[in-house]
Structure 1
Amino acid sequence: MVKVIVKGILMSSLFIPTISNAAMLAIETGIMDWNNNATEHFGKAKDSNLYAKMIGAYGTEFGDLYGHVTLENIDNMDLYGTEINLVGQINLGESDFNLYGQVFDKSMPAWGETNTLLGFSWDKNFDKTYVQVALAAHLVNATYKAFDNSFDEQGFNGGYAYLNLTRDVSLLEQNFKVIWWHEVYFGRNEHYLQLAGDMDKTGFNGQFITKWLINNNWSVNLSYRYAENNMGKKGYHDAIFYSLQYKF
């Protein structure tokens, strides 16, 4: 399913005119330092884990694409996992509203999920601040080997809401980028919740990111990652991410 969707989005992007286009490609590596609450629940899968990520974005006046591929627990093949995220927006005329689509795939040794989100978004630049909101239907295909069970109906799994606030900041003659993104899942399937471990029909997760832009290529990033009734655990758990990024 995910391969078909990703291939379709990538193929359709070939037909987007390259007028006023902008592109970005970056690589990032760092440590996900989960707190004791997470480690007690997940064990070494959420402890102090190394990761590497490739990030890309491409935008025109007609729409834009964003994607990242993350390799997690790269120092422990027993817990090795991948995360693939592809987000596309197609502008609706001259307005700031868009058709919105996202495919998010997470694969670990004992489980895997492909989440497809289809709906509408609104985004706008205000001087040094970027704002994006989205509302979408949520379709899921999940398999949890640890439960010797499969949730693979590729069915409707409630709704999805998203907020992104990004601002460029100058302080002490240094340049920073501050980002907060937050997503909420609601009305989720009870069978899915039992398998995933989230348990509550409404859950959220997000991240606060501070990027110190050393120059045009290098940045040092400090992030606070959090989740409530989401990402495999009922209740709250969080982490601090430390990373170094190179932008081509």
Structure 2
Amino acid sequence: MPKRYTDQTYYTGDNGYVLGWVAGYSFSLGSEKFSVTNWNEYEFDRDASYAAGNGGKDGINGAVALWWNATPHLTAGVQYRYADNKLGESFLQDGIIYSIKYLF
């Protein structure tokens, strides 16, 4: 669990800790190939002066996604992105991202 250091205009110094993960699982349905992925970051024990303007003493940020590997070069997916007490806001921020990726 790494110590978090922040260097920005209004705060510089040790700023709590970060705990996170990345996970993925590939599977097939019939002849189609899919994968599910997830990443997450949890920040906690933020410095009080930083927390006052950036959503609080802790925050969470991440995504969960479903990918369809249509061909060896083409992947399509949908991701759910979420953040709470992050990016200077003290409320849940979320959204859906649709993607098409081409591997050269």
Q: What is the TM-score when the length of structure 1 is the normalising length?
A: 0.40
* Aligned residue in 1 for 2:44: 186
Give the CA deviation at 1:156: 0.7
Give the CA deviation at 1:193: 2.3
Q: CA RMSD in A?
A: 1.4
Give the CA deviation at 1:164: 1.7
* Aligned residue in 1 for 2:84: 228
Q: More helix per residue: 1 or 2? A: 1
- What's the % identity of the aligned pairs? 29
Per-residue Cα deviation, 1:150-194 (whole angstroms, up to 9, x for no partner): 32x3x1111010122200011132111110111100011122223
Give the CA deviation at 1:235: 2.4
* Aligned residue in 1 for 2:31: 173
Distance in 1 separating the partners of 2:88 and 2:97: 18
Give the CA deviation at 1:228: 1.6
Query: Helix, strand or coil for the counterpart of 1:241?
Result: strand
Give the CA deviation at 1:247: 2.1
Distance in 1 separating the partners of 2:8 and 2:70: 40
Give the CA deviation at 1:138: 0.6
Distance in 2 separating the partners of 1:181 and 1:214: 23
* Aligned residue in 2 for 1:140: 6
Q: Which ranges of 4 or more aligned residues in structure 1 deviate by more than 4 Å?
A: none
Query: Helix, strand or coil for the counterpart of 1:230?
Result: coil
Give the CA deviation at 1:223: 0.2
Give unpaired runs (5+ residues) of structure 1: 1-134, 144-149
Q: Which structure carries more relative contact order (alpha carbon 8 Å, separation 6+)? A: 2
Distance in 2 separating the partners of 1:231 and 1:216: 36
Distance in 1 separating the partners of 2:17 and 2:98: 31
- From 47, 69, 74, the equivalent of 1:213 is 69
Superposed, 1:143-162 pairs within 5 Å as 143=9, 150-151=10-11, 153=12, 155-162=13-20
Distance in 1 separating the partners of 2:38 and 2:22: 6
Give unpaired runs (5+ residues) of structure 2: none
